[in-house]
Structure 1
Amino acid sequence: MASYTVPPVYAAFIWWFSTGAVLLLVGCARRFVPLRVTIAVFMVAASLCGLTFSAAETSIGSAYIAFTSTILLWGAQEIVFLSGWVTGPRAKPCPAGVTGWTRLGPAIGAILYHELTLLACGAAIVTLTWGNVNQVALWTFAALWGLRQSAKINLFLGVPVTNDELMPQPVQFLKTFFVRKPVGAFFPMSVTLATAVLVILIQRIVEVAATPFDVVGLTLVSTLFALGVVEHWFMLLPLPAITLWGWGMHSGFPPEDATMKQEPDATATNAPPNLVVLASVRPDLTPSRPAHATCARQRLEDQFRQSFREQHAREDLTTGLGIGEAPAATINGRTS
């Protein structure tokens, strides 16, 4: 039973964790570039050693080693690509005014070296596993490469959701080659073909797999393939792709509080002594008061204005008529 239940969980975790870890590592500051290089080199070395060790083995452990080694090799080239170190001879945004299929040339020029690197990784896997009984690594790489090419073509032709917020800063220029629009004929064709391949893989698990090694190897590959199909649906439906790997996004870290580092206001600093500088308050940012409180205050202000006008009117009338207060009564010429 473990041969059927553990591989899907393991493959799903590796798919989720490796993607987020690569995004987190690439999103680090420039001072961590040596660390990135060291990790990428270590991943390549560990991958090649794992592929060499597991190629002639047909145990359950060798299936996991071959699968993990391929993921490590794929992750290393992703670090190199997303860091902007190996992209293409024309690592620039799409030229202005270039649309449709005329974008194909600049698009290929933007990722040509990356594509050649993928082929070199595939050639290394074929070389290390050729003629051996353990072909899990080759199946895994073929699944990753085929689904990645399908995703790139769909993004180039146009999909409703590109999820380009997952792309690190060094390769932001590639977003200019993506198109947001309703899907065309290629998307249903690619998803249908990928689903058919997935059905064949599951059928082989049920009908052809005769040993635990075959079951584990095919289950790992089929789970990874199913997750790749799910990633295709992320391009069509507003599924929370960013929430799956938000922990790996450098931009997803909480920003520093800008108010803590705000410079003193130049107007207030240069103001003359005894001059009070009032902060400008936008009406739409003032706190709102309840309607009944505003009405009551308005009535009091109106009453005050009315009393003030009446008082001034009486004073003006008295002054104009020359009427003053009667002198106080006197007794013997003196004021009492």
Structure 2
Amino acid sequence: MTLAFGAIGFVIVLWWSATGAIFYLDRLPRRALAWSITAATVVLIASLVGLGASAQVATPVGAFAAFACAIGIWGWNELLFLTGAITGPNREPAARGLSGWPRFRAAAASVIHHEVVIAASGVAVAALSAAGPNRVGLWTFLVLWAMRLSAKLNIFVGVPNPGERFLPDHLAYLAGHFRTAPVGAFFAVSITLATGALALIAAFGAGQEPSAFEVAGVTLVATLLALAVVEHVFLALPWDSAALWGGKRLSRPSGDVNSRCDESDPKRLLHPAEA
């Protein structure tokens, strides 16, 4: 029980501090961009090496190490995206009235390069994890990948709180692909599937005595998935989750796109170019 509680605390602290660190680095002056990416790349290399080593260690320490390394690899991907270093070929606000397949294609073109890099990172994580019995790093990365993709699709389809305030000013054009709307069937399905997956993970080992490694690994992955579900819930709430990091946002208040849009129609696309 102590091991499980320790794993839960570890995930919460690492999730909160890693997200805060990415926010901090991306709020630095643009001239510090190269230093931020360099520092993140050093973390990436260390994480890849650490993941390969920890994959051979099926112990609680190995589970914690693999989890932390997967977070480090994911953090590199997130920082490159938020700094604008890797996004997509389309860096223009969405055209007014765009809908259906053209809207999806425009939105996908805004992030496709980043998605390709994430996929390549996933292949690397899978290859390193396959070398040993410790697959905690792989499952951690897959949870992050699946839930981030789910969040992106929900923001595209439409949620009450798409979180455009988390976009730095140089990525404000991405808010044009967000849709502010009441939660619908897609959100319900997303939450249901994620919650069902969480229940399956939590039920692992029921009726038997799991090893300490299994307890640590399952608790780490389950806690991360639970936090991702909570982040999804934030999308449906009128509460600014930036308060979790002292109220800091990546964008400046003056760059708040949503405040300059007609709020009478919740399904209207946001147009940062008009701000």
Q: Within 5 Å, which residues of 2 pair with 1:177-188?
A: 177-188=177-188
What stretches of structure 1 of length at least 5 have no aligned partner? 254-336
Q: How does the TM-score come out when normalised to structure 1?
A: 0.72
Is the contact made by 2:165 and 2:249 (CA closer than 8 Å) also made in structure 1?
A: no
Residue 204 of structure 2 aligns to a residue whose secondary structure is helix
What stretches of structure 2 of length at least 5 have no aligned partner? 254-275
2:269 is matched with which residue?
none
Q: Within 5 Å, which residues of 2 pair with 1:194-205?
A: 194-204=194-204
1:295-315 Cα distance to aligned partner (Å, 9 max, x none) = xxxxxxxxxxxxxxxxxxxxx
2:123 is matched with which residue?
123
1:173 is matched with which residue?
173
Distance 1:209 1:241 in 2: 38
The answer to whether residue 62 in structure 2 is matched with residue 67 in structure 1 is no
In the TM superposition, residue 164 of structure 1 has moved relative to its aligned partner by: 1.4
2:9 is matched with which residue?
9
In the TM superposition, residue 101 of structure 1 has moved relative to its aligned partner by: 3.9
Q: Within 5 Å, which residues of 2 pair with 1:202-241?
A: 202-204=202-204, 206-207=206-207, 210-241=210-241
Is the contact made by 2:67 and 2:140 (CA closer than 8 Å) also made in structure 1?
A: yes
The answer to whether residue 48 in structure 2 is matched with residue 24 in structure 1 is no
Residues 252 and 246 of structure 1, relative CA distance in 2, 3 Å threshold: farther
Distance 1:207 1:86 in 2: 46
Is the contact made by 2:82 and 2:167 (CA closer than 8 Å) also made in structure 1?
A: yes
Is the contact made by 1:51 and 1:69 (CA closer than 8 Å) also made in structure 2?
A: yes
1:152 is matched with which residue?
152
Distance 2:23 2:198 in 1: 27
Residues 177 and 250 of structure 1, relative CA distance in 2, 3 Å threshold: closer
Distance 1:207 1:234 in 2: 34
Residues 171 and 246 of structure 1, relative CA distance in 2, 3 Å threshold: farther
Distance 1:251 1:153 in 2: 22
In the TM superposition, residue 100 of structure 1 has moved relative to its aligned partner by: 3.8
Residues 208 and 232 of structure 1, relative CA distance in 2, 3 Å threshold: farther
Is the contact made by 1:156 and 1:177 (CA closer than 8 Å) also made in structure 2?
A: yes
Distance 1:29 1:173 in 2: 19
Residues 46 and 153 of structure 1, relative CA distance in 2, 3 Å threshold: same
Is the contact made by 2:242 and 2:248 (CA closer than 8 Å) also made in structure 1?
A: no
In the TM superposition, residue 30 of structure 1 has moved relative to its aligned partner by: 1.4
Moved over 2 A (4+): 99-102, 205-209, 245-253
Per mean C-alpha deviation after superposition, the further-off stretch among 99-108 and 6-15 is 99-108
1:76-130 Cα distance to aligned partner (Å, 9 max, x none) = 1111111001101112211233134431010111000000011011000011111
Is the contact made by 2:156 and 2:178 (CA closer than 8 Å) also made in structure 1?
A: yes
Distance 1:148 1:61 in 2: 27
Is the contact made by 2:159 and 2:179 (CA closer than 8 Å) also made in structure 1?
A: yes
In the TM superposition, residue 250 of structure 1 has moved relative to its aligned partner by: 5.4
1:161 is matched with which residue?
161
Aligned residues: 253
Q: Percent identity?
A: 38
Higher-RCO chain (CA-CA 8 Å, sequence separation at least 6): 2
Cα RMSD (Å):
1.7
Residues 133 and 110 of structure 1, relative CA distance in 2, 3 Å threshold: same
Distance 2:140 2:220 in 1: 8
Per mean C-alpha deviation after superposition, the further-off stretch among 93-102 and 211-220 is 93-102
Is the contact made by 2:55 and 2:134 (CA closer than 8 Å) also made in structure 1?
A: yes
Residue 66 of structure 1 aligns to a residue whose secondary structure is helix
Q: How does the TM-score come out when normalised to structure 2?
A: 0.87
In the TM superposition, residue 53 of structure 1 has moved relative to its aligned partner by: 1.1
Residue 159 of structure 2 aligns to a residue whose secondary structure is coil
Is the contact made by 2:169 and 2:251 (CA closer than 8 Å) also made in structure 1?
A: no
Is the contact made by 1:18 and 1:75 (CA closer than 8 Å) also made in structure 2?
A: yes
